[in-house]
Amino acid sequence: MAIAQDLLAQQRPTAHSIDSVNVNRWSPRSFLEKAIPEETLLSVFEAARFAPSAFNFQPWRFIVAASPEERERFYTFIGEFNLNWCKKAPVLFLIVSNTETEKGPFPSHAFDTGAAWGTLAHEAVRQGLVTHAMTGFDFAKAREALGIPESYAIQALVAIGYQGPSDALPEGLAEREVPSPRKPVQEVLFQGTFGQAF
């Protein structure tokens, strides 16, 4: 059964007041074999469209596998560990970023694409969906299988769908089906120079 939002708040208490969508976003591995309505799925990608990007270049691209045939193509490059659980997800998508502009290299392509992914992940929570991003796959095989040009960097593979029960996971994964703890803000926040406590 999906973890209720009030339980998430107990498991991931915040030191400062923030919107609950930030706490409720986590990366489950158990998915229901339930289709995502197209309008709901498009709303998630619509949110990503409004992420900030340098010079409004919008380098992010999403290659979506929603049909059984498309997902089978994705399975050819996903690592065995991830394939064990992500086969139940109704949709997979690969995030890539355009590294080149007409004027040359675009240095913030990964940063900007990360912003789009974060926006997308939060909208998924709002739509009642869960996402799980992963890099446990063969990048070279993915590039070949999906015909990705060399000017695009592969960033991550994401499973998206409705959260399933933890006991539906393969042995050894069920007990890990809890939100990860986060580092305290003091550990990641410096003032003025690197390493100087805020």
List pLDDT tens digits, range 33-52: 999 999 999 999 999 999 99
Read off the pLDDT band of 1 (50, 70, 90): very low
Residues 6+ apart with CB under 8 A from 17: none
- Sign of the Cα torsion 58, 43, 65, 32 reads positive
Share of the chain above pLDDT 70, in %: 95
> Under CATH, which number does the domain 26-164 receive?
3.40.109.10
Residues 6+ apart with CB under 8 A from 97: 59, 60, 61, 109, 110, 112, 113, 152, 153, 155
- What integer is the mean pLDDT of 53-57? 96
Model pLDDT for residues 172-183, shown as the tens digit of each residue: 888 889 899 899
pTM of the predicted protein model: 0.91
Q: What is the mean pLDDT of the chain?
A: 93
CB 156 within 8 A of CB 117: yes
Residue 9 scores a pLDDT above 70: no
| Of the candidates 70, 71, 96, 86, the residue with the CA atom closest to the CA atom of residue 151 | 96
Model pLDDT for residues 24-34, shown as the tens digit of each residue: 999 999 999 99
pLDDT of residue 3: 58
| Tokens 């550990």 sit on residue | 187
